[in-house]
Amino acid sequence: MRARDSFAALIFTLCLTAPTNGLPVVRIARAGADHHSAATVASDTADYIRNCAIADMFAIVTGRVAQKATRNDDVRRFSQMVIDDHTAFQDALGATLKQAEFTMTLPSALDAPHVAMVQQLEDTAAANFDVSFMQQQIVTMQNALRVQASYAKSGRDLTLRRFASETIPKIEMHLALAQRIFQKLSPKTASTRR
């Protein structure tokens, strides 16, 4: 029980403290613009794009970890759905960036805080894995939902605002399903966390 609580606290802390400005200098080139005068992407937009890319990679990696570690059919189906949907999100983000003529380098690997969370999940004892995985998914989806909702409401780029708005319903569905599975796996813990 104590390990599960410390795991949840670590996940929550890492999600709140993960750096949001880790991208290298980001530039955009719009059609017809002189390449020498390309404007720098607004920091909120660069942060949003980076956070989306990292969140999708993290969801896919942790989904694959769950596919290998779980013996629970609900967790297995959920993790496969997360892998499929976040792969689709990655593809849609790439297409959106291309359509909006953004030229930037997306992160190609997870950042250190997310690598640490994956490692902690991989090191979780089999008896605690499903509950720990679902807790992690709930916290990270709540964070992703905040990022998407914030950018959808006040982001600078209209194309990315539309992308964020279109992504929100799937994340809400993932979050609701994760909470139901978590409650089913650990009813006593789930009822005290509401």
Domain boundaries, the chain: 2-192
32 has pLDDT over 80: no
Tokens of 21: 């400005």
137 has pLDDT over 50: yes
The predicted structure's pLDDT at residue 171: 97
Higher pLDDT, 118 or 9: 118
pLDDT, tens digit (0-9, with 9 covering 90-100), for 101-127: 887 778 999 999 999 999 999 999 999
Higher pLDDT, 189 or 114: 114
CB contact burial 115-131 (16+ within 10 A = b; e otherwise):
eebbebbeebeeeebbb
The CATH number assigned to the domain with range 2-192 reads: 1.20.1260.10
Whose tokens are 């890492």? That residue is 14
Higher pLDDT, 29 or 20: 20
pLDDT, tens digit (0-9, with 9 covering 90-100), for 70-90: 999 999 999 999 999 999 999
The predicted structure's pLDDT at residue 41: 56
The predicted structure's pLDDT at residue 189: 54
